[in-house]
Amino acid sequence: MTLPMTWDEWTAHDGVGLAERVRKGDVTPSELAQQVAAGVAKVDPALNAVVELFEDALASPAGNNTRLDGPFAGVPYLMKDLGPTLAGRMQEMGSLFMRGNRAATDSFLAGRIRQAGLNIMGRTTTPEFGVCSSAENPAVYVTRNPWNTEYTTCGSSAGSAATVAAGVLPMAHGSDGGGSIRIPAGVNGLIGLKPSRGVFSIAPGLSDLTGLVSSQGCLTRSVRDTAAFFDHCRGGAVGEFMPYWTPPEPYTELIRRDPKPLRIALSHEWGDYRAVPEFVDELARVGRFLEGLGHYVDWALPAVDLRAAFEAQTTCYISNFAQVIAGMLAARGLERPPADLIEPINIRIWEAGIGTTFSERFRMQATFNTTARAFGAFFEDWDIILTPVTALPTPRIGTTEYLTISDNPSVRDWFGNLWKNFAYTPLANLCGIPAISMPIGEQAGGLPLGIQAQAKQANDGLLLQLAAQIERAMDGKWNSGRRPRVRV
């Protein structure tokens, strides 16, 4: 089969660029879909990142309910196998227990994605129910990092991160309940923005208030792709429990201008958790780079009881996931999770969380309130707080302590160990504030190191402005121009 572009030409385009080529008549949406299918065939044997491609979406993007006159003009898109549903498509959530599960309807966000002109043409890997830090269970699949396949992609938006990093397509879906967009973006060399609350709907099945911490988004290789996705896919469905908001200016316009000089705080001392020295050095280096762009940079941290915040966050995850699992069990008439179909830590989460009382949740929410207020007060004095995305080097494949196949008998100890590496991301979810991972750091072994910027509620656009300023300053060469070993 003759492809419409060479692979070098293909990977030089982002989603907005491909859409421009379609509108000029240089290439058709069907040809774009065929190029993605060829890319999956080329790299997925090494990465194991794509669960399924939809043959009908390859054959006819228009027949896939893609609005071809939308802003993305039929650009291919892959969905994480968790969260927003697609009518008639399977959604198996990285779990043996959910094998064969087929969705009855499109979620509201899936409809927005189709209206934006993105051709949803397949599913990407995720850990079971999105709980842990890597799509890595040999009984289901093991997704590998394209920069070095001996290492994990992290998660939970694992397959989406691997396919975008490998150049298969310019952007893919992710969701983030504690860092699940930003962490895989960080270790795969991508841009990953977790939005503020009130941006992307999870209607009709749930609302933002149902789980308090999880949000939707995308992983990309260019700031303008992220900006365009936010501009065209945001918004609430009818009957939302909270207001959905739109910025006064589209992000695609906003990012053309540099932000004003910003007050940027650096931090790696996050309660009980500390980054390894090489990551602190990278953070300091990025701080000096930002000073060179005209920003004021210093070390500072919000006045937050971080130990209490992580305790509340852990209670939130345990009780939330316990109820999610309970719903799946009830749908099958089961009283408890089957040990041969649900991973050990998820069974322990169900056991530990199913009896959570309203009083425990009330105390948790009280800590959410004081934590969010403290971050809010901090952002009265500072525009941005900058951290590494992770505190420790990326785990090798087979490091089970972070996985839900772990044999750790204590759920709280398992979460406590998780925070030692992934401390910097979850509090943005707790507070409902925006946070972005930018591919501007490097680990000693050559893997990417994302640097995270967080801002106050509804300042998503400021994060994109800063990222766009950095992108221009580096002539578009994220990751210092380096490319993964496994790529199309």
- ∠ at Cα 485 (164, 45), nearest 5°? 70
Residues 6 or more apart whose Cβ sits within 8 Å of residue 355: none
Q: Specify the pLDDT at position 245.
A: 96
pTM of the model: 0.98
| Residues with catalytic roles | 80, 156, 180
Q: Specify the pLDDT at position 207.
A: 84
- Check if the beta carbon of residue 127 is closer than 8 Å to that of residue 137: yes
Q: Specify the pLDDT at position 215.
A: 95
Buried b (16+ CB within 10 A) or exposed e, 417-454: ebbebbbbbbbbbbbbbbbbbbbbbbbeeebbbbbbbb
Q: Specify the pLDDT at position 364.
A: 97
- ∠ at Cα 309 (308, 313), nearest 5°? 115
Q: Specify the pLDDT at position 267.
A: 98
> Element (H or E) spanning 174, and its range?
strand 171-176
Residues listed for the chain: 488
Q: Specify the pLDDT at position 206.
A: 86
Q: Specify the pLDDT at position 124.
A: 98
Q: Specify the pLDDT at position 209.
A: 75
In whole angstroms, what is the distance from residue 405 CA to residue 141 CA?
12
Structure tokens, 79: 């969905």
Query: How confident is the prediction along the chain (488 residues), in pLDDT tens digits per residue?
Result: 799 999 999 999 999 999 999 999 999 999 999 999 999 999 999 999 999 999 999 999 999 999 999 999 999 999 999 999 999 999 999 999 999 999 999 999 999 999 999 999 999 999 999 999 899 999 999 999 999 999 999 999 999 999 999 999 999 999 999 999 999 999 999 999 999 999 999 999 888 777 789 999 999 999 999 999 999 999 999 999 989 999 999 999 999 999 999 999 999 999 999 999 999 999 999 999 999 999 999 999 999 999 999 999 999 999 999 999 999 999 999 999 999 999 999 999 999 999 999 999 999 999 999 999 999 999 999 999 999 999 999 999 999 999 999 999 999 999 999 999 999 999 999 999 999 999 999 999 999 999 999 999 999 999 999 999 999 999 999 999 999 999 99
Domains of the chain: 127-481 (3.90.1300.10)
- Return the residue matching tokens 């929410």: 365
Structure tokens, 44: 């997925």
Q: How many angstroms separate the first and last alpha carbons of the chain?
A: 16
Q: Specify the pLDDT at position 136.
A: 98
Q: Is 76 helix (H, G, I), strand (E, B) or coil?
A: strand
- Return the residue matching tokens 């841009």: 191
In whole angstroms, what is the distance from residue 232 CA to residue 294 CA?
31
